[in-house]
Structure 1
């Protein structure tokens, strides 16, 4: 499992490595353009029901930590879907991966 450390909060946001790798590409692209946006996700089934949203801004510290030392093969389709959501008024919604052809 991967971890996303946001701001000065010592508690990470836990995200599966493959999803975090795709999310990193989209977030890095937006922040490199000096764009601010939100990131939302549904709480895992083992937590209280609901969802969380955070505001991402280039000045807020952000760190990606991966459990697997090898980078996964990235899906252009998944990155595009997340990038489209990033450009909407609702911001990035951490979407499930839909493999090509499914």
Structure 2
């Protein structure tokens, strides 16, 4: 389980390593372009049920921390889906990876 540290908060946002690796690519690309957007997710156990949204802006500190020492293989389809949602009015909604079955 990886962690995303946002702003000055010392409380991490816990995200599974593979999902966090994909988010890092999309978020880094958007922020490098000076684009602001939202990121929303459903709370995972043991947090109380619900969902959260944060506003991501290039001036706000952001740190990605991964548990696994090796980076996972990335899915172009998942990155494209996350990037598409990042450009929408609703921002990125962190959803499970959709695996195409042939």
The normalised TM-score by structure 2 is 0.96
Q: Deviations over 1:36-73 (max 9, x none)?
A: 00000011143222100000000000000000000000
For residues 67-86 of structure 1, what are the structure 2 equivalents within 5 Å?
Answer: 67-86=67-86
- Aligned match of 2:40: 40
**In angstroms, what is the RMSD of aligned CA positions?**
1.1
Report how many residues are paired. Answer: 102
Residue 57 of structure 2 corresponds to residue 52 of structure 1: no
Gaps of 5+ in 1: none
- Aligned match of 2:91: 91
Gaps of 5+ in 2: none
How far off its partner does 1:99 sit? Answer: 1.4
Distance in 2 of aligned mates of 1:13 and 1:3? 5
The normalised TM-score by structure 1 is 0.96
